Amino acid sequence: MRADPENATLEQDIIDRPDDRRAWVTYAERLQSQGDPRGELGLIQLALEENEDAALREKEQALLAAHAVELSGAFPSRGDAEPAASCEVIYRGGFFHTLCFAGPPEVLRQVLAHPSARLLVSLSVQYMEDDREDFAPLVEALSTEPLAALRALCIGGLPDPHGEASFALRSCGSLLPLARGCPRLERLGIRCPYFVAAFHPALRILDARMGAAPPSVQSLTRAELPRLTELHLGYETRTSRQLSDRHEEALIWDDATVNALGSASGLAVLRRLCLWPTPWKRNCRVATRLRASQLASRIDQLEACNWRDFDDCSAFPL
């Protein structure tokens, strides 16, 4: 892709308004006029959004095959049948729009440094194997290449009930790198109970429904999140005596944690707090304390959810 001031301006228009289809069309037309195959690919993909067409779909695949390194990237493998990383991509306008990545941090850096990732809007990252406990290197990798257009991010995959490592021990460390690498990030999903919340200027929704350990909740009450309006937190309602896995005790909130959350003055614009306990007890200590807290008096919705499966749950007001 040629370095061109007008190209940079058109990219900025998309970064500012990623849902503006006209901005994508204008940029694709500009690239096509410069002889860049990404421009032709972009116009084809934008046309396919309007109307599915077999001939256009075939042309799209031919372009991707003919310019594979330039448009898709060529990333390393282990030299055997097993790849070093898995990348599932949905394009828009010739660029990666949605990316699901599984692999080591060093390959993630290469993927994000590719020109096709310049306008990435949604990203999910995890390791290939589900027995890792330290996700901090993946978080740090997100700060090495600016993801100026990124609006949605999910860190970690769903826990494997048969995995060797306990989900309750997963940590992704400090979230501060996300403010540097993803300054427009609005939605963050964390499937690591241990994290350190930090300043982020644009974050509106933080979803830790799979579990948030007490230190993580404490860090949320100290973090500067000026636009956070929606917060999902998971915890255990069973006592340590009832738990079959001692590691799950890490998800039981003590009174200090509940009190800190209930009096968190830093969550100034929070309007919805949703609790994800398993199993739910309507009159459990956490619910009782939060209902009477200062935070509950300020927000519009204080809810609880029962697990059925990850995408199917019942929510009700506390």
Q: How is the chain split into domains, by residue range?
A: 5-68, 83-158+167-203, 207-318
- Residue 93, pLDDT score: 96
- Residue 116, pLDDT score: 95
314 CB-contact burial (10 Å; exposed 0-12 / middle 13-18 / buried 19+): exposed
Residue-wise pLDDT tens digits, 174-197:
999 999 999 999 999 999 999 999
- Residue 163, pLDDT score: 59
135 CB-contact burial (10 Å; exposed 0-12 / middle 13-18 / buried 19+): buried
Kindly report the pTM of this predicted structure.
0.90
- Enumerate residue ranges in the chain where pLDDT < 50: 1-2, 77-81, 309, 312
